[in-house]
């Protein structure tokens, strides 16, 4: 996983992309980089109307983009449904346009699918998530539109700034929850708790 080198426009042979939004992209990136079967990932923007968005414009809330992570994974080692199980476990899919104190459409819960099979699996995962929540699950499921990689300073943010306030108070508990709930699915050699 590299800060300096973006993902290729298409996944490598035999691999797939998953593009997910569930609050701040730093949170999802920190969780998914430890998941077995994830080969690479990066933070980016997806789902809006502005070409070549930047962080400031997306945070202003007028581009329509969601903060997302794009994940390249090996489906022979990590099923898409298993990836989505983690996704639904590490964010609240029942809050529209917010995760905790992060408020705005850029923080919406959304699955951007890359194939009809992913779309069907996402609908199945959404129904399973609804069974675990009393409130309605508001996660959008949409075909993946144009995607833009976020600026280099947003890549591997938690790894580079674990003591920063937002990282310590918001991201670290999500990572801790993932590490305990999905201990068997973590990469070998992943950092200890």
Q: How many CA atoms lie within 13 A of 170 on its CB side?
A: 18
Residues 6 or more apart whose Cβ sits within 8 Å of residue 62: none
Rg of the chain taking only CA atoms, in angstroms: 15
Compute the distance between CA of residue 17 and CA of residue 113 in angstroms, rounded to an integer.
9
Catalytic residue among 24, 27, 43, 46: 24
Compute the distance between CA of residue 103 and CA of residue 105 in angstroms, rounded to an integer.
7
Active site residue 24: yes
State the DSSP H helix or E strand holding residue 142, giving kind and residue range, or none if neither: strand 140-143
Q: Decide: 48 and 64 in contact? Cβ < 8 Å.
A: yes
Question: In whole angstroms, what separates CA 147 from the centre of its chain?
Answer: 13
Q: Decide: 74 and 35 in contact? Cβ < 8 Å.
A: no
- The CA angle 61-158-110, to the nearest 5 degrees, is 40
Catalytic positions, written as ranges: 24
């Amino acid at each position: 996983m590299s800060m300096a080198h973006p993902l290729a426009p298409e996944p490598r042979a035999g691999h797939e992309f998953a593009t997910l939004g569930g609050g701040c992209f730093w949170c999802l990136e920190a969780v998914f980089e430890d998941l077995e079967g994830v080969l690479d990932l990066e933070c980016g923007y997806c789902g809006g109307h502005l070409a070549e968005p930047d962080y400031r414009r997306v945070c202003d809330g007028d581009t329509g983009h969601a903060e997302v992570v794009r994940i390249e994974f090996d489906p022979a080692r990590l099923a898409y449904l298993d990836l989505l199980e983690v996704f639904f476990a590490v964010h609240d899919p029942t809050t529209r346009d917010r995760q905790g104190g992060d408020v705005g459409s850029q923080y919406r819960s959304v699955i951007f699918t890359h194939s009809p099979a992913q779309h069907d699996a996402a609908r199945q995962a959404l129904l399973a998530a609804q069974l675990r929540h009393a409130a309605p699950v508001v996660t959008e499921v949409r075909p993946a539109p144009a995607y833009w990689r976020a600026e280099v300073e947003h890549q591997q943010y938690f790894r580079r700034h674990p003591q920063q306030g937002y990282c310590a108070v918001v991201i670290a508990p999500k990572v801790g929850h993932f590490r305990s709930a999905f201990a068997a699915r973590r990469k070998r050699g992943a950092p200890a708790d």
